[in-house]
Structure 1
Amino acid sequence: MPPATPRSRWTIALIGNPNTGKSTLFGALSGVPQRVGNYPGVTVEKTLGTILHEGMNWTLVDLPGTYSLAPRSPDEMVAVDVLLGRLDDLPAPDVVLCVVAANSLERNLYLLSQVLELGRPVVVALTMGDIAESQGVRMDIPALAERLGVPVVQLQAHRGIGLDELKEALAKAGEEPGPAVEGLFPTPFRQETEQLDRLLAGHRTLAGEHGLPRYLVERLLLDTGGYLERRLYGDGDGEAHAVHAALADARGRLAAAGCTVPAVETGARYAWIARIVDGILSHPDAPVATWGDRLDAILTHRLWGLLVLAAVLLLMFSAVFSWATVPMDAIDAGIGWISGQVQERLPDGPLVSLLTDGIIGGIGAVVVFLPQIFILFFLLTSLEECGYLSRAAYLMDRLMVKVGLSGKSFIPLLSSFACAIPGVMATRVIEDRRDRLTTILIAPLMSCSARLPVYTLMIAAFIPDRRFLGGLLGLQGLVLFAMYALGVLVAAIAALLLKRTLLKGEAPSFLMEMPVYKWPSPRVVFQRMFERGWDFLRNAGTIIFAVSIVMWGMLYYPRLSPERMAPLAAEQSRLESERERARAAGDAEEEKSAAESLATLANHIEGEQKRQSVLGRLGHLIEPAVKPLGWDWRIGSGVIASFPAREVVVATMGVIFDVGEDVEEDAGTRRLGEALRSATWPSGKPLFDVPVALSVMVFFALCAQCVSTLAVIGRETGTWTWPAFTFVYMTAAAYVASLIAYQGGTWLGL
């Protein structure tokens, strides 16, 4: 029967194997996606677009790339649930658009055979036809469509070829009933399926109000891993046990009849595929050597491939770390200029502070990450579209498998050395759910650029500049390297522990079909780049902005009492009068001295305000907890203030130690270093020494002091459980490691 949904409101599901051009086709059909989010309860991204055709707006649902509709995890179940209409927030598709690559037709038809069994109207989009032809593959497309019983449209989406014909085919297919599929499985399997279907009809309370579709009944028999069985019927008593027993008995009878599951499915489907392609598909007698094969001989070579990969990764790392500097500095300057304009036009007070430090500063804290996200996803998408990303993952798999991950985790982790935010977002290239989640959870351990100001401040102030090997190696450089190496080491340990406990599972077998080389589609590259940027602004950006406002309030209130401010204000007035008298008398030296005294007093007042604030009081509150690390309340306050962003700690400590916020320049850094070296405990003992400096650096190397990263983790995982877990485990690891660094350094007499 044709779908009951009005033709102008159809939903079309897009499905296909990875590396078949599905993403390119989605972009060509729908333009910029309307809505991007996660399916409920899983980490799979839900991308919806709109197809415009003859005045109609069809919703296009981009399903995850998959080789089969055999669900083994919640993420893999998404495609099946969408196609069967089992999700509350998404209607059943009126047409299924299945992307099939012509150069791997037999393998792609495996997924199509499962899609056809669902009974939905289907249209096949045949891609990679030009590549198949260059490889000597020949096929009769009209005959293929006739045998499949569904329209087959050949197209080149990146060039816009065949799109109009595809839309016409979708419009016609949606008006017709779904294809009638012959029985693929042998008679004993069909008999067991019918018997199981009758049994499950009496257990609808377990499988839902409307019972199970026939496809899921088949999958229950074939799902020897038990995922679908547990999902639908759980491990309860009574009826659930009856269903489990019936499934076990049915599989036993099938095995006795020579139809062992799940092998029976592979045999049945490939037998069907052989019948479909017989006489209409031909391959050359000998494989045709292509330029891609010759390129692979270099790019996947154990030596030359690694050298090329190192060059590519150096380019990516430099791009995200260095190329973004100019636009990020421009954004900072723009935010600073806007803040300056507000300060000039409004009197000092809480309103101007809220506007400049809270609202405008909060907006700046969000927007400043956009250049890094744009650059990373421009390069990642380009490398993925041209086919190189799969080669890079293949080369690095041997190393990554030692910590329970696959090669696809390498590039997101490398990107995190520049910033964990685009690194976490880059994990979308990882299909395996456990691998993706593990990579997300360890990505913040890579020392990002925001940690560098903390490292350089502490190293310059407290690590002596000793040289080794004739001056080739310096102690300061070795300490900086050690901070980066510490993050990598702890990340490897965390990955091993996660894959053996919470995300238990073996390192996945790295089976990957190398995609063919092709020129990236500019439309897809720029669309995905801007899509990720907007996604960040819309989701994580709102959280970062809100936290920035909260932190402003904690740093601003309560203000100093009038009694404490009176002598400070009187001194400020006296110095201003001295400066004006010196200016009137033309005494430049005295005027400069008065101006410097005013600046020092202003820094002292600002420091007093911060010490009086909620943040300062929290610093005093946590001092007993951080004292074993060699810290006092001032260092603790700086750590709390750095929660919105790690780099804030330098400016915050500048204020707390009466140096002022402008400590980014060399002179300001030297002044802050001098202030830290002269800081003391109430007993007169120096506050900072080498063990304390190491303790601070180690803590920031491992802690989760970045709300932006936590917000993105929440966005990518679809829950706040994993960001909370990340914060807790990283903070605990940072505390323990910092304790060891301080106590060990003190014991060694550093």
Structure 2
Amino acid sequence: MASVDQFQPPAGSTTDAIRVALVGNPNTGKSTLFNALAGMRVRTGNYPGVTITKKVGRMTLGDCPVDLIDLPGTYSLAPRSPDEMVAVEVLSGDLQSEPPVDVIVCVLNATLLQRSLFLVSQVLELGRPTLVVLNMSDTAQSRGLRIDAQRLERNLGCPVVSTSASKRGGIDELRQRLADLVMSVGQSDAGSDSASQRRDDWALPESFYQICDQFRSHLIQSACVPVQSGKSTDDLPANTAELPDDYLLQRALLDRGGAAEKRLVRKLGAAILPVLNETRDQLRSDFDDVVDMECSSRYTWAGRKLDGVLSQGSGSGGLTDTLDGILTHRVLGLAIFAGLMLLVFQSIYSLAGYPMDWIDAATGWASDLVTDAMQPSILRSLITDGVIAGVGGVVIFVPQIALLFFFLAVLEDCGYMARAAFLVDRIMRLFGLSGKSFLPLMSSFACAVPGVMATRVIENRRDRFATMMIAPLMSCSARLPVYLLLIGAFIPSITILGFLGLPALVLMSMYAVGVLVAIPVSLILKHTMLRGEAAPFVLELPEYQWPDPTVVFAKVWEASREFLVRAGTLILAASILIWFAAYWPGDHTRQYELQAELAQIDQQLDASESSPAEPLLQRRDEVSEELKVISSDLLESSLLGRVGHAIEPAVRPLGWDWKIGVGALASFPAREVIISTLGTIYSLGGDVDEEDEGLIGAIRAATWPDGSPVYTIPTVLSVMVFFALCAQCVSTLLVIRRETNSWRWPVFSFTYMTVVAYIGAMLTYQVGSLWTAG
């Protein structure tokens, strides 16, 4: 094990700051502690090649600049998830493009010290200067636990500080102890008592470390280790210098097929595998089960370190035990959970409506401003219909995202989120998922964009990706205008069983179809593309506490900013491409002339002090009608319209004509765009909604060349089923790209959903036609 006496600040580092990493189990208050230390000087990004968010806060201790890194929560340095993998690679200095960590701050839950010390035993073996934080010390005290932090510091051989991050207790002492440790980095005697341990004080049996030494020797003797240029193969120090550190060798022996083994193979090549397997066989003969050996040894070590540290005084479980008796009750708990979820989503729906209306009004105001300032032209169309409409289509999601992540942050920070996952886990097993998938899926009924982003709460990668793949199947609010238009126009207002309205039944069925399809899709994914051993649903129920406003605000701000900066730019680009496809290559000269004349007439009407002249009003109506017809013709002759005509043979089995096909294509940026597209196609203009009587009348009157109606009940149901199942939302697909860090998953999502939607719509139309014909 590396001694801190040889530790030096990283050479060739990309930053002049000391790098301090915060590591700890989930639900230890690590993020709250991070915010208390770093304040608002935080920058976020992604670790190279993965979707795990990196949070780095800049702070100053004395005259020394410090980069404080908030690592993902982990129970062990034997990673089982992408988040834990990132934490291990950062701590071990094995992550590409990331300088080594200089100091480690290990945050523990003071109420669960023996379990938390399991991670401490592994961290100390990294050989880095380490500081241990006993967070939630106030909760431990309320439970009657008395902790002798000074004795624990002597036992561990590293600084120990007690804090209560949510109440900012102990932060000043933590800063001072951390400053002392940071200032000592690079000195010859730095941290001699904080990171280095005597071999007889290591957590695992001495015979294990002896076998590790033999493993190192075997690697050198078998020429598995590359030799430095100009050195002899018998030059042991040169060979040793090329070896990974002892910690990586130890973890590779302990974790068969795990991340450490893969990293070791990457470093030294596959030639090490025979030596590795031979050494493992020796370990198995000595210890039978090395996993059990490590667990029991580390917990035994933790028990020794806690000797004389803990004592039990008077206290009780307090509020947490009382609330859990109610909130996790099999019946009452579910009822409270259902009511709370209803309140959350109703709040998102209601409260987000106001800022969304303001954003919509601001978009309209900006578009009108440009329209008044510029003559009709391709540039004006690009700015108003492409850029401004695209920006509005991005920004309008922010209120929903901000509110959703506000509620998520509050529920998580107060401790209720874990209880919610526990309550619905049995239901989610029908999907092959865990209870943590429930909230993202429920969020997707409002909007799939924040729903996909909310999958970040799911640690297991397979469950997270499976949830992302089925989240768009939940009928979001953007589908509702399509449902309302078609149901209002064609579904008769009759009752079934004397009380159930047929329109309401059809609307409920559209919401149910996505859920019913999601179940087999998720199960198929978990047995094919995302197959693997079922992840154990291990859930820790943290202490209830008041949410930290700083943490809540930081999560809301981070989610909103990340959506605008990363996903928003892609959505804007896609919106402009769709505008271009609907605009080019028609001749818009006459359209521009009519738009200019219509604007001039409107100015004359506004300037008229008396009643407007009848000829002026008549001319305005004539220009408006001609403009609608020309706009419809231009859309039909555009690239988008030509594609619509080209795909008409493919959509005829669904009961669609080319106009419905163009509406489906144009709604790719957002599903509700089909309403305005149909308005343009039927020469009504794009400024229509689902309640527009003219649009309802036009689609009712639409006929095939033989005079038969286009929109029959089977056709209407076919269109609604297609929109219920198809991935008609570029925003969702681009957010999936952002969350998975790959184009593979959004392409797969779009492909499978389009195929399922097509088959579902075709079956609906064909079976419905046979039913009505019979």
TM category (shorter chain) comes to over 0.9
Which shifted more, 510-519 or 251-260? 251-260
Deviation at 1:390, TM superposition (A): 0.5
Distance 1:474 1:596, change over 3 A: farther
Q: Say yes or no: does 1:266 pair with 2:295.
A: yes
Residue 221 (structure 1) aligns with: 253
Listed as ranges, the matches of 1:280-295 within 5 Å are 280-283=309-312, 288-295=316-323
1-side partners of 2:461 and 2:41: how far apart?
24
Residue 306 (structure 2) aligns with: 277
Q: Say yes or no: does 1:407 pair with 2:435.
A: yes
Distance 1:311 1:476, change over 3 A: same
Listed as ranges, the matches of 1:162-561 within 5 Å are 162-174=170-182, 175=184, 176-177=190-191, 179-181=195-197, 182-201=201-220, 202-204=223-225, 210-224=242-256, 226=258, 228-230=260-262, 232-233=264-265, 240=270, 243-283=272-312, 288-470=316-498, 472-560=499-587
2-side partners of 1:731 and 1:231: how far apart?
39
3-state DSSP of counterpart to 2:35: helix
3-state DSSP of counterpart to 1:49: strand
Deviation at 1:334, TM superposition (A): 0.8
Q: Is the 8 A contact 1:404 1:507 kept in 2?
A: no
Deviation at 1:21, TM superposition (A): 0.2
Deviation at 1:326, TM superposition (A): 0.6
Extract unaligned runs of 5+ from structure 2.
Answer: 185-189, 228-238
Q: Is the 8 A contact 1:405 1:507 kept in 2?
A: no
2-side partners of 1:586 and 1:439: how far apart?
61
RMSD: 2.8
Deviation at 1:71, TM superposition (A): 2.1
Deviation at 1:266, TM superposition (A): 0.7
Distance 1:509 1:525, change over 3 A: same
Listed as ranges, the matches of 1:584-599 within 5 Å are 594-599=619-624
Q: Is the 8 A contact 2:394 2:568 kept in 1?
A: yes
Identity of aligned residues (%): 49
Deviation at 1:674, TM superposition (A): 1.2
Q: Say yes or no: does 1:700 pair with 2:708.
A: no
Q: Is the 8 A contact 1:405 1:508 kept in 2?
A: no
Distance 1:623 1:199, change over 3 A: farther
Residue 230 (structure 2) aligns with: none
Deviation at 1:233, TM superposition (A): 3.0
Query: Which of the residues 634, 639, 650 maps onto 1:609?
Result: 634
2-side partners of 1:135 and 1:400: how far apart?
34
Residue 680 (structure 1) aligns with: 703
Deviation at 1:313, TM superposition (A): 0.3
Amino acid at match of 1:180: S
Residue 723 (structure 1) aligns with: 746
1:148-191 Cα offsets, whole Å, 9 max, x none, are 11111112223333223222222322322451123222233222
Distance 1:586 1:4, change over 3 A: closer
Q: Is the 8 A contact 2:431 2:518 kept in 1?
A: no
Residue 648 (structure 1) aligns with: 673
Amino acid at match of 1:217: L
Amino acid at match of 1:189: F
Distance 1:74 1:156, change over 3 A: closer
3-state DSSP of counterpart to 1:418: coil
Q: Is the 8 A contact 1:320 1:415 kept in 2?
A: no
2-side partners of 1:597 and 1:644: how far apart?
32
TM-score by length of 1: 0.93
2-side partners of 1:398 and 1:231: how far apart?
37
1-side partners of 2:38 and 2:419: how far apart?
29
Residue 24 (structure 2) aligns with: 16
Amino acid at match of 2:497: L
Q: Is the 8 A contact 2:666 2:673 kept in 1?
A: yes
Distance 1:432 1:55, change over 3 A: same
Q: Is the 8 A contact 1:144 1:276 kept in 2?
A: yes
3-state DSSP of counterpart to 1:89: coil
Amino acid at match of 2:768: G
Deviation at 1:57, TM superposition (A): 3.0
Q: Say yes or no: does 1:132 pair with 2:151.
A: no
Residue 236 (structure 2) aligns with: none
Distance 1:209 1:189, change over 3 A: closer
Which shifted more, 520-529 or 718-727? 718-727
Query: Which of the residues 623, 647, 664 maps onto 1:622?
Result: 647
TM-score by length of 2: 0.90
Amino acid at match of 1:35: R
Which shifted more, 483-492 or 619-628? 619-628
2-side partners of 1:466 and 1:484: how far apart?
20
2-side partners of 1:366 and 1:94: how far apart?
41
Extract unaligned runs of 5+ from structure 1.
Answer: none
State the number of aligned residues: 737
Distance 1:59 1:570, change over 3 A: closer
Amino acid at match of 2:444: S
Deviation at 1:34, TM superposition (A): 3.8
1-side partners of 2:41 and 2:711: how far apart?
53
2-side partners of 1:410 and 1:86: how far apart?
35
Query: Which of the residues 112, 122, 131 maps onto 1:123?
Result: 131
Q: Is the 8 A contact 2:62 2:179 kept in 1?
A: no
3-state DSSP of counterpart to 1:748: helix
Which shifted more, 55-64 or 301-310? 55-64
Distance 1:3 1:739, change over 3 A: same
Distance 1:244 1:417, change over 3 A: same
Amino acid at match of 1:46: K
1:51-102 Cα offsets, whole Å, 9 max, x none, are 2333543212211111111023554321111111112221111101111111
3-state DSSP of counterpart to 1:637: helix
Q: Is the 8 A contact 1:42 1:75 kept in 2?
A: no
Distance 1:570 1:37, change over 3 A: closer
1-side partners of 2:377 and 2:320: how far apart?
66
Which shifted more, 141-150 or 42-51? 42-51
3-state DSSP of counterpart to 2:112: helix
Q: Is the 8 A contact 1:560 1:612 kept in 2?
A: no
